[in-house]
Amino acid sequence: MPLPVSPEILVVLGTRPEAIKLFPLIQRLQDHPRLRPVVVTTGQHKELVDYVLETAGCEIAGDLGVGRPGLTLNQLSSSVIAGLDDFVSARYGPPPERISGRVREDHYPAGCIVHGDTSSAAAAAVAAFHLRIPVIHVEAGLRTGTTLSPFPEELNRQLVARIASFHAAPTRANVQNLVREGVDIGRTFVTGNTGIDALRWAAAREVPYGRPELAWLEDDATSPVVTVTAHRRENWGEGIANIARATRRLADAHPDVRFVVPVHPNPRVAQTVRDELDDVPAVTLTAPMEYHTFARLLARSTLVITDSGGIQEEAPALGVPVLVARTTTERTEGVEAGVLELVGTDADTIVASAGRVLTDPAARAAFSRQPNPYGDGHAAERIVAAAEHLVFNSPVPQTSGPGFVRAQVLEWAGFHRTDAVEGPSYVREPAAVDHVPADLEDVVIKPKSTVDPYDEVSE
Ligand code: UDP
């Protein structure tokens, strides 16, 4: 008799960006009447991750303690694999011989969520695969196509994509990338980016800025505010200096406007920015901000000038125009949708474009004519609806993009359909090989069963 799976879903995360992008999902799973998140942190960015999760009211079930500075990628990966293995065996025991698709309390986890492209996410996916736990990949399908750039993230993404049963992709372009690599479209779902959910939640909390140089912003609800950030390596030197010079010229030309510049801690960036802007009264220079207060600042802004990657997705979600101070961007969907304008680092171009946004309401409105392609703030809701459908065979969630097919996901996770006494159900058989076989003849390759996705039986 196969054991049923539990409604628990592991969520494994290690870094601050993962915590930011996964907390909306953890919150929704915590509030879900039937599913339950089991959050496992790796211990990499311990204080930062704990702060983000605690602020969002997310409970941590376990920490793998992989926080030692200076770990190599291989040491980190092997520690995460071994640590997750220990955590799962301590909590659930060894992988059951047979698992049914039916769900009851206190048995093996129904899935393991990993996010994006970190080495810990890739290691957790490998560990979950070895433990026969289906992997759900959030923020799936981003690609540069060059495995050495970014390193090791690009290969990590591709590795997780090979393992994952279900791919929650932020955009349709991300799904296209996966399909191009041979992932069945039926195992993908366009959800938007959970980072947008996170940002909206954080911005709405109105956490006090809590620093003297921004005290004026607590009381001033009317002055137009321009937020400026710059830190990219390719802009070091002249690029950053030009962005700062443009900010100074804009401050001179628009005396009613206030400028806030969170200065990146890198000394090469900070020195250049300070040299240009230290003595400009309308410009407030401040240290890098906590995520929640930065979200509030973005929401308060009339315009953002930035070379950041993440902010290009975040500011449009709050309806704020973005001038991208770079010559290229990987966020091409945003430029096509008109929510971003690529201005490069020429000071004249930045001053002219910013001037238009600040003085012409039509120019400003043009930035929010199209919806933000990176998400509408409901990504976590979609992913949880998908998980609910996968685990409980509840109604298919409203699709965004091509949609997905439960049977294909289950089959990739190793389940096959069986006709048991109590009716047809999905059963996962034991792995053909649990340990490296002494002799290759020990390997039994089971033929893949075929599953008819349209012949589902409610469980
Ligand atoms: N961010 C922040 N405080 C700041 C500046 C940025 O919390 O002072 C957040 C921002 O909201 C985004 C992330 O940091 O979520 C991305 O930052 P950054 O621009 O440093 O990196 P990139 O996206 O270019 O890798």
pLDDT tens-digit profile of 116-157? 999 999 999 999 999 989 999 999 999 888 888 788 999 999
Predicted TM-score of the model (pTM): 0.86
Q: Where are the beta strands (DSSP E) in 242-330?
A: 258-262, 283-286, 303-306, 322-324
The pLDDT assigned to 433 comes to 42
Q: Where are the beta strands (DSSP E) in 291-413?
A: 303-306, 322-324, 340-342
Low-confidence spans in the chain with pLDDT less than 50: 432-459
What b/e sequence results for 2-40 when a residue is b if at least 16 CB atoms lie within 10 Å of its CB, and e otherwise?
A: bebbbbbbbbbbbbbbbbbbbbbbbbbbeebeebbbbbb
The atom number, within ligand 1, closest to the CA of 288 reads 8
Segments forming the whole domain that contains residue 330: 211-366
The pLDDT assigned to 231 comes to 92
- Closest Cα partner for 232 from 330, 363, 314? 330
**Residue 276, class by beta-carbon neighbours within 10 Å (0-12 exposed, 13-18 middle, 19+ buried)?**
buried
Tell me: do 403 and 431 sit in the same domain.
yes
Tell me: do 286 and 393 sit in the same domain.
no
Tell me: do 350 and 382 sit in the same domain.
no
Shortest-distance Cα residue to atom 19 of ligand 1: 308
Rounded to the nearest whole angstrom, what is the distance from the C-alpha of residue 173 to the centroid of ligand 1?
23
Shortest-distance Cα residue to atom 16 of ligand 1: 310
Tell me: do 154 and 228 sit in the same domain.
no
Task: Read off the CATH number of the domain in which 310 is found.
Answer: 3.40.50.2000
Tell me: do 111 and 238 sit in the same domain.
no
Tell me: do 327 and 397 sit in the same domain.
no
The pLDDT assigned to 432 comes to 47
Joined tokens for residue 181: 């690599």
The pLDDT assigned to 453 comes to 30
Tell me: do 360 and 388 sit in the same domain.
no
The pLDDT assigned to 162 comes to 98
Residue 371 covered by a domain:
no
CA 175 to chain CA mean position, Å: 15
Tell me: do 14 and 69 sit in the same domain.
yes
Report residues whose beta carbon is within 6 angstroms of any ligand 1 atom. Answer: 229, 231, 262, 288-289, 291, 294, 308-311, 314
**Residue 185, class by beta-carbon neighbours within 10 Å (0-12 exposed, 13-18 middle, 19+ buried)?**
middle
Tell me: do 74 and 22 sit in the same domain.
yes
The pLDDT assigned to 399 comes to 79
